Chain A
Amino acid sequence: MSAEPVLQVRNLRAHIGTARGVVRAVDDVSLDVDRAQALGVVGESGSGKSVMAKAVMGLLPPRAACSGEVLFEGRDLLSLPRKERAQIWGKQIAMVFQDPGRSLNPVVRIERQLTEGMRRLLGTSRSEARGKALELLSEVGVPDPERRLRNYPHELSGGMRQRVMIAIALACEPDLLIADEPTTALDVTIQRQILDLLRRVQRDRGMSLVLISHDLAVVAGRTDRVAVMYAGRLAEVGATRSVFDSPRHRYTHALLEATPALDHERNAPLRLIPGSLPDPTDPPPGCRFTARCAQVEDDCRDPGPSMALVGADHYAACTRPVAAGDVPLPVGGGSGGR
């Protein structure tokens, strides 16, 4: 956290026009990604985490309107000319997608998919890129890399494909890697390997990592900081341990309490957060969580909360934050938890 953050998202809004109206997928989010650190972004589906990642990568459809700033090493990706942005994506920021079965081109051999970035962006020679590709495949734990280079994606297993995707993302030695739900499409047994791999390469290379997931457990032990999103807004952000041990936003607290513990008591009812996500085309004024919050009062809607420091490197946007040290109790009693 010495130097300035590698990525600074400032008041980012991504509003997407649909048949039902304008979806406020991301609504005024500000967030930093520090150098050589791993940031987890958690939230349920529809919270805007993937849209935020796509906005950073310039992958939103033209009907999406973005405003605010996405500063990468001081340059705003949203307003940068196309030519200069092309110098950043792939080379300095890379991305790993949710489903490796769909994010690899089915009719192109692994070799070209793995080397085209180096060849076209860095001007690496064919043989040099090939050597680098073999190294990368070994680094991400793909056995028999020589043969894999000649394979097509359908000849690999899901876990191998995601390893290949990670190798592709690492090919141009990016400063920042965004992994959007990188294990959601994989078998549970493979998930852990892939997550540990991501954390390992992040540390080995001194790279920054944004790990996006709907699963709190995915982010828990593998990130330095965590950001919790709800309905297009940032609810809480802070050091991972601090957020999980002592969540201050009512949403985070409820979310953690709803997570069944490993020693979940038999037949004890699962705890839920009542209600559902607000209409993304017409969100309520003030805090987005008001309809589902037990502690809601008038000032939650007007003027509504703003991000405030609630602890050491810990921010929450809540009018009546949970008391510090109010540890969420996982359902079924047990004290263990994560």
Chain B
Amino acid sequence: MVLPVLSRIGRSLLVVLLVTMAVVLLMSLAPGSAAEVILGEAATPEAVAALNAKLGLDQPLWAQYLNWLGDAVRGDLGESPVTGQPVTEAIVERLPVTLQLAVMALLLALVVSVLLAVASAVRPNSLVDRAINAVSSVFLSVPAFIAGPLLIYVFALQLGWFPVTGWSRLSDGIGPNLLGALLPAIAIALTEIAAFHRVLRADLIGTLREDFVGAARAKGMSGAYVMLRHALRPSSFSLVTLAGINLGRLIGGTVIVESLFALPGLGQLLATSIVTRDVVTVQGVVAFIAVVYVGVNTAVDLSYRLIDPRIRKVATA
């Protein structure tokens, strides 16, 4: 039980090392030196050399990486040459926004998609199922940059239920905070709902054909009980996998929605840093997102053994 878990974690650490290595190499991939990129074309050679020395870019690549890694494991991702703010601080400042957005969108998508998938799978190809499939096709094909403005127009501008843009901190009260986050979360969740619904619907329909479902019915268990206590869990593998991948993706990938709704999240930080050529910040944020992504997927892999006892057995054998 312990050994496979450790080996899985070990493999994840290896991935993190490789990703961060690639991230540090980004520095040397930029034409000229990173200092030239940061300072712009008008910089004097002396200024460039000084910045290079300050960033440690005059050292060989392996030394650069080890220096960066050594600082990074202690939580120091360097200092932005543009704003002067430590990158770690910038990430910590913006992480709650992105995290809340990603988690809210994911929870919303999970709740809605499980309900829809159950409704679909009860009677496949029924009118209800086909209606839900049609709606989910629409969700799947409308990207966030269309759904976002549409939601803002209808629910914020026309109906006035939500603030148009902006973010209200949790410390300013949970009500306004949730209200402000809900619309962007919905914009993100729509595609997820559609994807989750499809995956879970297909798995549920398969599970409901299994003999043990018939056996549970023959035991006199009600349809709802069979669905919730017998069918849902063994059908949730693909859903958990997909949700895990998407949580990782959302933490780095809500750039569009954050920009649309003017939310001070990680995505926005990344977007601004790219525009201002803030290589140090880009490096730090990308490394951070990679670690989160790998971490979430490791957790998902380990969670399979909670869902299916047979995996625990196989793993120990």
B-binding residues in A (CB < 8 A)? 54, 57-59, 62, 86-91, 94-95, 97-99, 102-108, 116-117, 120-121, 152, 154-155, 165, 168, 172
In the bound assembly, the distance between CA atoms of A154 and B307 in angstroms comes to 14
Q: Which residues of A contact B222 (CB under 8 A)?
A: 86
Please list 11 pairs of residues, one from A and one from B, whose beta carbons are closer than 8 Å in the complex, sorted by A's number.
A59-B217, A89-B217, A89-B220, A94-B219, A97-B215, A99-B211, A102-B211, A103-B214, A104-B215, A120-B225, A172-B220
A-binding residues in B (CB < 8 A)? 123, 210-212, 214-222, 225, 229-230, 233-234, 307-310, 313
Q: Which residues of A contact B233 (CB under 8 A)?
A: 107
In the bound assembly, the distance between CA atoms of A2 and B309 in angstroms comes to 49
- State how many angstroms separate the Cβ of A145 from the closest Cβ of chain B: 19
- State how many angstroms separate the Cβ of B160 from the closest Cβ of chain A: 46
Whether the pair A106, B310 counts as a contact (CB closer than 8 A) is yes
Residue of A nearest to B213 (CB): A105
Residue of B nearest to A95 (CB): B218
Q: A107-B309, A154-B309, A154-B313 are in contact. Are A120 and B212 (CB under 8 A)?
A: no
Whether the pair A102, B210 counts as a contact (CB closer than 8 A) is yes
Whether the pair B123, A62 counts as a contact (CB closer than 8 A) is yes
Whether the pair B214, A97 counts as a contact (CB closer than 8 A) is yes
In the bound assembly, the distance between CA atoms of A99 and B214 in angstroms comes to 12
Whether the pair B220, A107 counts as a contact (CB closer than 8 A) is no
Whether the pair B310, A103 counts as a contact (CB closer than 8 A) is no
Q: Which residues of B contact A121 (CB under 8 A)?
A: 220
Q: Which residues of A contact B234 (CB under 8 A)?
A: 105-107
Q: A105-B230, A152-B310 are in contact. Are A91 and B212 (CB under 8 A)?
A: no
Whether the pair A152, B220 counts as a contact (CB closer than 8 A) is no
Q: A57-B218, A90-B218, A116-B219 are in contact. Are A103 and B211 (CB under 8 A)?
A: yes
Residue of A nearest to B233 (CB): A107
In the bound assembly, the distance between CA atoms of A102 and B233 in angstroms comes to 16
User: Which of B212, B214, B221, B230 is the most central at the interface, judged by chain A CB atoms within 10 Å of its CB?
Assistant: B212
| Among candidates B216, B220, B225, residue contacting A105 with C-beta atoms closer than 8 Å | B216
In the bound assembly, the distance between CA atoms of A168 and B310 in angstroms comes to 21
Whether the pair A106, B219 counts as a contact (CB closer than 8 A) is no
Whether the pair A97, B221 counts as a contact (CB closer than 8 A) is no
Q: Which residues of A contact B220 (CB under 8 A)?
A: 86-91, 117, 120-121, 172
Q: A99-B211, A102-B212, A106-B212 are in contact. Are A94 and B309 (CB under 8 A)?
A: no
Apart from A86-B222, A103-B211, A154-B310, list 5 A-B contacts with CB within 8 A.
A99-B211, A102-B212, A108-B230, A168-B215, A168-B219
In the bound assembly, the distance between CA atoms of A105 and B307 in angstroms comes to 12
User: Which of B215, B234, B307, B310 is the most central at the interface, judged by chain A CB atoms within 10 Å of its CB?
Assistant: B215
Whether the pair A120, B221 counts as a contact (CB closer than 8 A) is yes
- State how many angstroms separate the Cβ of A170 from the closest Cβ of chain B: 11
- State how many angstroms separate the Cβ of A75 from the closest Cβ of chain B: 15
How would you classify the secondary structure of chain B's contact residues: helix, strand, loop or mixed? helix
In the bound assembly, the distance between CA atoms of A120 and B313 in angstroms comes to 30
- State how many angstroms separate the Cβ of A233 from the closest Cβ of chain B: 25
In the bound assembly, the distance between CA atoms of A106 and B222 in angstroms comes to 19
Residue of A nearest to B226 (CB): A105
Sorted nearest first, the 10 A-B pairs with minimum C-beta distance are A90-B220, A102-B211, A103-B215, A103-B211, A95-B218, A90-B219, A152-B309, A105-B212, A89-B220, A117-B219
Whether the pair A90, B211 counts as a contact (CB closer than 8 A) is no
- State how many angstroms separate the Cβ of B66 from the closest Cβ of chain A: 46
Residue of A nearest to B312 (CB): A152
Q: Which residues of A contact B214 (CB under 8 A)?
A: 54, 59, 97, 103
- State how many angstroms separate the Cβ of B222 from the closest Cβ of chain A: 7
Residue of B nearest to A91 (CB): B220
Whether the pair B212, A103 counts as a contact (CB closer than 8 A) is yes
Residue of B nearest to A60 (CB): B214
In the bound assembly, the distance between CA atoms of A120 and B217 in angstroms comes to 12
- State how many angstroms separate the Cβ of B300 from the closest Cβ of chain A: 17
Q: A105-B230, A107-B233, A107-B309 are in contact. Are A90 and B212 (CB under 8 A)?
A: no
Whether the pair A107, B308 counts as a contact (CB closer than 8 A) is yes
In the bound assembly, the distance between CA atoms of A94 and B221 in angstroms comes to 12
Q: Which residues of B contact A152 (CB under 8 A)?
A: 309-310
Whether the pair B219, A97 counts as a contact (CB closer than 8 A) is no
Residue of B nearest to A152 (CB): B309
- State how many angstroms separate the Cβ of B104 from the closest Cβ of chain A: 29
| Among candidates B211, B308, B309, residue contacting A97 with C-beta atoms closer than 8 Å | B211
Residue of A nearest to B214 (CB): A59
| Among candidates A59, A98, A102, A116, residue contacting B218 with C-beta atoms closer than 8 Å | A59
In the bound assembly, the distance between CA atoms of A328 and B309 in angstroms comes to 52
Q: Which residues of B contact A89 (CB under 8 A)?
A: 217-220
Q: Which residues of B contact A155 (CB under 8 A)?
A: 313
Q: Which residues of A contact B229 (CB under 8 A)?
A: 108, 116
Residue of B nearest to A104 (CB): B212
- State how many angstroms separate the Cβ of B237 from the closest Cβ of chain A: 10
In the bound assembly, the distance between CA atoms of A97 and B210 in angstroms comes to 12
Q: Which residues of B contact A98 (CB under 8 A)?
A: 211
- State how many angstroms separate the Cβ of B208 from the closest Cβ of chain A: 10
Q: Which residues of B contact A102 (CB under 8 A)?
A: 210-212
In the bound assembly, the distance between CA atoms of A59 and B209 in angstroms comes to 11
Q: Which residues of A contact B216 (CB under 8 A)?
A: 105
Residue of A nearest to B314 (CB): A154
Residue of B nearest to A62 (CB): B123
- State how many angstroms separate the Cβ of B219 from the closest Cβ of chain A: 4
